[in-house]
A and B are shown apart, each in its own frame.
Chain A
């Protein structure tokens, strides 16, 4: 019996600790700002645990302690000291610590600006995806969606706003969360310290498909980043096979261009995500599906099953061959 209990306890701990790792864990920070948040969290966890332990001990003494001990506990000074002075001092100290952290964040922001021109990226919250605009990627801003690539070590200044309702931009390993409010642009500066893929999530309930409104931040070494940004500046690459070419025609005749832009083609809609380089992104539909030809075809016809209430109509009218051709074309847009 004892052994089972111990096994169960170990299992619980393992499961709980498992939550500390992963590409979306606030407890595995990879930037200065996220580390401050993580430190603050640990201080709170530690302090909270210590206070809880203290309270349990006092309760035990109150129930089982000697008469002298209970006498001490019921003294006027104990009540005033423990019930009034202690919380005031503790909470005031925490508040002071919070102020220090905020000041550090501000100092860091100005250090960023003086330390080097930050990359400017606008992210606009939409129901239920992320419009991403690289504002200084060349002569013209470059639009993308649901994936943000950043250079390691260089500060990135995010202008965050929304097209519709309140969303919240949160990449736990890189920063604390910040709301996207209609009619104003909030700014957040992040500098990733290590190359890798970080997952972000909308952290403010925004309607039907909120739970499937995620995205990836991909931190690249500066040289890789430069190569990448000069590639996405280019219009979409021409279809590489007759199948893909036919798929491109079907994309246009079926009206997909009414909502989606593929630069370099007649598709110039702006209601939905820009698809100029959709084949090179990690995920579809705000991280609802990993990018693949099969996933693209499934998404086009059955998106309402995959992500209910999303604003794209389901194109169930397309026969399987045509879906396959369109998916071939889109997957080729690297």
Chain B
């Protein structure tokens, strides 16, 4: 046995080391002897330690994320590709294209992604895109409550390693040919780029329809609604990590011109409808045309028709995936910050998942010019209201 005083002495000595350590660290930081230079990089051991911590953090933090059932659809991949081109490729590069040399001098340098995708689970890809990575310069997703968009990017990332440069280009640039700019133009305004804010890449133009069923068809839409939507994106009252960054950099005049341009186009041919049961489609017709009394649902076509308020969009002929996605955002109170969004959110709260799928399926099969059958609605509501 040791003498009675020894244990106490050891403990006291250890305790006194703590303030000495703290003061030492402060003195070290104060001295500026440690270099924060990005040029010199990390020591190999530090580098390994940081990578170890990051990998484990992503694994643990994403543990409870549930991968949605429809993960990996073509529509998600196309939408994700469109955003990747604008939001990710400038730093991470893309198939057939190196990242900006300035960005490559960041520490840590944004990695080339294709070879690394396989080492992450779906939920981990989602988590990184949604939350970003502290101290690494990887930003978090720009729109709150838009997990649907984040999943689209994750779906694209999963696909990324398989893509040859030409596949990538046709996916990411969709409909826009990136013709090289003439030297005169390069001289004045830099090389013509089709990245951020090229609406037509995703939304199409006078000739081509949108690239993804998760992207709304703007051609022939009400001008006022388009302008309201662009302004809401720019102000952040309608949230989207994809549209907010695009709209926020446009001038007031540009917003007006773009709304006017798209509303002036002839509507595109309807998207290929998703195959669903006929029963579901006719259920959707009943809700869209007559509403659903037991759930307190008014008919969609009362407001969503040509000739109604200029702030109410035409929704017939939009892809089912887009309609259903937006209805879920309304229902879950993620699109209720605008005045018109609050109206729709109050109604969408009464929709079941099946109602949403049914209505989306039927509306996607209708022409944009859909109008209510006034007489048939009148009879139906009369029947429903008699006690």
Using Cβ atoms and an 8 Å threshold, which residues of chain B touch A175? none
Partner of A124, one of B297, B342, B343, B387: B387
Contact with B along A132-143 (1 / 0, CB 8 A): 010000000101
A272-324 interface with B by 8 A CB criterion: 311-317
Using a Cβ cutoff of 8 Å, how many contacts connect chains A and B? 69
Confirm or deny: B257 has a beta carbon within 8 angstroms of a beta carbon on chain A.
no
Check if B366 is an interface residue, CB within 8 A of chain A: no
Q: How close is B213's CB to chain A, nearest CB, in angstroms? A: 27
Tell me whether B377 is interfacial, beta carbon within 8 Å: yes
A167-179: CB near B (< 8 Å → 1, else 0) gives: 0000000000000
Query: A314-B343, A316-B339 are contacts. A254–B308 as well, Cβ < 8 Å?
Result: yes
A311 x B296 contact (CB < 8 A): yes
Interface residue stretch chosen among B57-65, B93-101, B378-386 = B378-386
Q: Are A271 and B342 in contact (CB under 8 A)?
A: no
Contact B342 A143, beta carbon cutoff 8 Å: no
A133→B387 CA distance, assembly (Å) = 10
Expressed in whole angstroms, the minimum distance between the Cβ of A128 and any Cβ of chain B is 12
Whether A189 is near chain B, meaning CB under 8 Å from some CB there, is no
Count of interface residues, chain A, beta-carbon cutoff 8 Å: 25
Task: Give Cα A258–Cα B291 distance, bound, in whole angstroms.
Answer: 9
With a 10 A CB-CB cut-off, give which of A311, A312, A317 has the most chain B CB atoms: A317
A161, B386: Cα distance in complex, Å: 13
- B374 in contact with A122 (CB, 8 Å): no
A266-B345 Cα distance, complex, nearest whole Å: 25
Q: Are A314 and B312 in contact (CB under 8 A)?
A: no
CA gap between A33 and B14 in the complex, in Å: 88
Determine the residue in chain B with the shortest Cβ distance to A270. B385
Partner of B343, one of A271, A311, A315: A315
Given A161-B387, A255-B312: A313 touches B343 (CB 8 Å cut-off):
yes
Q: Mark A232-264, 1 if CB is under 8 A from B, else 0.
A: 000000000000000000000111011100000
Contacts of A271 in B (CB 8 A): 291, 293, 296-298
The binding surface of chain A is classed by DSSP as loop
**Cα of A28 to Cα of B79 in the assembled complex, Å:** 69
The residue in chain B whose Cβ has the minimal distance to the Cβ of A159 is B387
Instruction: Give the CA-CA distance A85 to B309 in the complex, in Å.
Output: 75
CA distance A33 to B55 in the complex (A): 78
B308 touches A253 (CB 8 A): yes
B293 to chain A, nearest CB (A): 7
Q: What chain B residues lie within 8 Å of A141 (beta carbons)? A: 386
For the complex of A and B, 8 pairs with smallest distance between CB atoms = A258-B302, A255-B303, A258-B298, A313-B346, A317-B339, A316-B339, A313-B343, A270-B385
Instruction: Write 9 A-B pairs (CB below 8 A) sorted by A numbering.
Output: A122-B387, A255-B302, A270-B381, A270-B382, A270-B384, A271-B291, A311-B296, A314-B343, A315-B339
Q: 6 additional contacts, CB 8 Å, given A266-B374, A313-B344, A314-B342?
A: A255-B302, A258-B291, A268-B377, A270-B381, A270-B382, A316-B342
Measured CB to CB, the residues of A under 8 A from B are 122, 124, 133, 141, 143, 159, 161, 253-255, 257-259, 266, 268-271, 311-317
